[in-house]
């Protein structure tokens, strides 16, 4: 089996590639190393992959490179590449999002169609829903993106659907809900929170902290991708991938306080444009079609991310504390009140 994984140096792409390598005759990784965070962090993500003889890395821009030769002979494409983040997608930055998230996706789909690729897995986002009309949200809900980023991810989904409907290309779009865990991008909330908690620095929280998210550990997302390469799926299928760890940001901070070596110093700043009030997914379709259910709860998942940060920061933290924190299961996220299935706000 020959796989092509785009965004292979990233948080999710690198871990998807690692899990596919044992079953791959060849795995081609593609990344253009955008400057959204330091290249050194992305190179760290690639360390294990680079040591494997069946892995090769191509540093190319999907929006400009000739993709026909790259995709030729590939069985499965896992398109994890894209420019992430809600806040930077406003204003002048939007054109870059269109290039990386829409144009690159269309060019890769076209190459995959011409090459006869067996399965095309697209990494989408819960951002396509915006502030949903009902919770928990199923794939049948009308997408209403609340940010330019969400608009570009939905455009990628529609392109997958168009290639499936017109050419029979077997595409599946996985809508990720707030993914966290080891290797998380530096701009993401859990990364910022844990780094600050380990260093004794200030934590910046946007808005009241009452925003609710359906947190999903990266291990569960990786497993969904692997299953999506093999399952019998109708072309153009869209699936929610969510962890079932529904909590608000303030509850997460309470949990984190028991895992990091320094007291949390929280500073509240203004709510940011594009941030939705809540995400909460129904994942019945992923369970039915992939046999997938989330397995990592928020307590264990956050502990795994803290352990990763502490390993990276070990020289900085040396001498501050001698003990390693185990997950404190007496501190769990406060339950978010369940609302009627047809209500919001």
User: Which pLDDT does position 263 carry in this prediction?
Assistant: 86
Catalytic residue positions, numbered: 149
Sequence length of the chain is: 345
* Segments of the chain with pLDDT less than 70: 315-345
User: Which pLDDT does position 345 carry in this prediction?
Assistant: 39
Structural domains for the chain = 2-179+217-241 (3.40.50.720)
């Amino acid at each position: 089996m020959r796989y092509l994984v785009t965004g292979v140096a990233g948080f999710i792409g690198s871990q998807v590639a690692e899990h596919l390598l044992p079953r791959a005759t060849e795995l081609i990784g593609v990344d253009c190393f955008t400057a959204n965070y330091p290249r050194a962090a992305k190179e760290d993500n690639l360390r294990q992959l680079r040591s494997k003889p069946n892995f090769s890395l191509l540093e190319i821009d999907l929006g400009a490179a000739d993709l026909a030769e790259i995709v030729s002979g590939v069985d499965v494409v896992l398109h994890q590449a894209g420019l992430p983040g809600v806040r930077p997608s406003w204003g002048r930055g939007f054109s870059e999002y269109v290039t990386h998230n829409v144009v690159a996706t269309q060019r890769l789909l076209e190459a995959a169609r011409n090459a006869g690729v067996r399965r095309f897995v697209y990494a989408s986002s819960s951002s396509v829903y915006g502030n949903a009309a009902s919770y928990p949200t199923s794939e049948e809900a009308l997408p209403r993106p609340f940010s330019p980023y969400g608009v570009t991810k939905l455009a990628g989904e529609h392109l997958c659907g168009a290639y499936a409907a017109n050419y029979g290309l077997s595409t599946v779009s996985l809508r990720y809900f707030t993914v966290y865990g080891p290797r998380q991008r530096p701009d993401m909330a859990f990364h910022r929170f844990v780094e600050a908690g380990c260093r004794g620095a200030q934590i910046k929280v946007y808005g009241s902290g009452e925003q609710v998210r359906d947190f999903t550990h990266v291990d569960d997302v990786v497993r969904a991708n692997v299953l999506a390469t093999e399952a019998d799926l109708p072309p153009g299928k869209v699936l929610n991938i969510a962890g079932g760890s529904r909590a608000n940001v303030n509850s997460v901070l309470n949990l984190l306080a028991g895992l990091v070596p320094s007291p949390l110093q929280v500073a509240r700043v203004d709510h940011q444009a594009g941030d939705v009030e809540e995400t909460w997914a129904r994942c019945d379709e992923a369970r039915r079609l992939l046999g997938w259910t989330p397995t990592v709860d928020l307590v264990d998942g956050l502990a795994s991310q803290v352990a990763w940060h502490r390993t990276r920061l070990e020289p900085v933290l040396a001498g501050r504390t001698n003990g390693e924190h185990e997950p404190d299961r007496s501190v769990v996220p406060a339950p978010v009140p369940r609302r009627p299935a047809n209500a919001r706000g």
